[in-house]
Amino acid sequence: MSPRPAKIDWLKIKLDYVQGSDTLEQIAAKYGRKYDTVAGHSCREKWVEERNAYHNQLTRNLNLLAANKSASNLLHELNEKQLKLSDELRFILHSRLKERDETGKIVPRKNLTVTEVTRAVFAFSELYRVDRIALGVASDNLTPVEQRDRFSEMSETELLSELERVRTQPLIQ
């Protein structure tokens, strides 16, 4: 009796063809099979269609991955620019609200008006909100916080007293 030939793993051959770039002739030679036999299996099991579908899906996945990476990189760059701009705006705001006294200490400007303080408070809160969005904090991305102008609810006397308090106390401790 002659030895029995090894069982042919057609699934392995099919996967090698579908997921690779070899032709049917190259696959047949690689596995030591006749071209007609491999072509017959390919035709019956629709290897070419599966190969096309596999490579199309692979291309779509790679394009999607590239697009997501590009969008992610762009978003990161925009966020970095936003954070830098926020820092510059903060510096401008601070320089408009403060000055150095005779001793060289940084103190609130003496001639600040209620309007300037109100605008600065709103600007700082808006910069903070934008920074949080740039850093990816979901709560501000989904629902913007309603801005409350507490100064508009104050009487003239309360406003003047708040302005005096701001002048005498440092803004940043």
Where do the structural domains in the chain lie, given as residue ranges?
10-45, 76-168
Mean of per-residue pLDDT scores for the chain:
78
Helix extents (H) in the chain: 10-19, 24-30, 35-45, 47-97, 114-134, 138-142, 156-168
Q: Which DSSP category does 150 fall into? A: G
| Contacts for 59 with CB less than 8 Å, ≥ 6 apart | none
Q: How confident is the model at residue 167 (pLDDT cuts 50, 70, 90)?
A: low
Sign of CA dihedral 33, 35, 36, 37: positive
Q: What is the pLDDT of residue 140?
A: 46
Sign of CA dihedral 102, 169, 108, 90: positive
Q: Regarding predicted confidence, which is higher, 45 or 119?
A: 45
Using the structure block, give the residue that is written with the tokens 């150095």.
100
Q: Regarding predicted confidence, which is higher, 117 or 47?
A: 47
Distance CA 40, CA 18 (A): 15
Burial readout 136-160 (b: 16 or more C-beta within 10 A, e: otherwise): eeeebeeeeeeeeeebeeeeeeebe
pLDDT at 33 over 90: yes
**pLDDT tens by residue, 56-91:** 888 877 777 777 667 667 777 777 787 788 888 888
